Structure 1
């Protein structure tokens, strides 16, 4: 039976957590190139699931900037024709299956081998990557240059070279 005397404190804690986590997960979904609704699902579904099945009260269950950057990298590698939301959902389900298998096999001790400096470096690197990408996409000339470099026709034009001897082509 729930403890009704703690209901007020739990409600305040839930509202405070939601006011921080919801905007954060919406921003992370944007970083990963997904619709903002995906960020809301990433905030709510894990918390509800952990509230029902979890065993540790102080554990934080939500999205993080490294996860959004890794998801964006995985989505960038998907073949054309596959919806980003479908690829991200598949990635989430596969990650859940792997984590469930690791839990059944009691492999949690492996996380103890990752040192704090490595985790700090990972988080700092991800933060810098996100900041630089956001700054570069805000500059129109860099955005145009990046589009020019990633345009598949650019490579074909560059390889084709000039059409006749002495003519000046695009290089």
Structure 2
């Protein structure tokens, strides 16, 4: 009887592990259909508002299970020099990993390219959701990536602390 219970327990543990892996890596993600206008936006130095950037070859995924699961890849003819002259740089831009099956987004490589100066990160849209900024990185060869990350105000509020005076007030429920 003990062997049977051990086998049942092992099968349940393996099945649960497989299910958990599937849910983390595949289940909640969906492809984002490009709308042609607001898919890639960067915050203008002159107006302080996000502006659409011309792009091609757009691919994106998102998930409703987390506000920071958005990842996108694209190409652009915008040069790093032109981007730096026109858009707000993001010094905190650190790409978050994407599922392995979303092959165009390799966070380690993107991060290394930013550190080496071959790519630069820019503020896409500040507070796209409360406490979440959208960041856009552009490589010198025209490849680009987009991801969402928690900003300073979000880190504080999501940790259960009141919003600092220089942050927008947190919506109810935070």
Same fold per superposition (TM over 0.5): no
Give the structure with the larger helix fraction: 1
Which one has more relative contact order, counting CA pairs under 8 Å at least 6 apart?
A: 2
Scaled by the length of structure 2, the TM-score of the pair is 0.26
Scaled by the length of structure 1, the TM-score of the pair is 0.26
Computing the radius of gyration from Cα coordinates, the structure with the larger value is 1
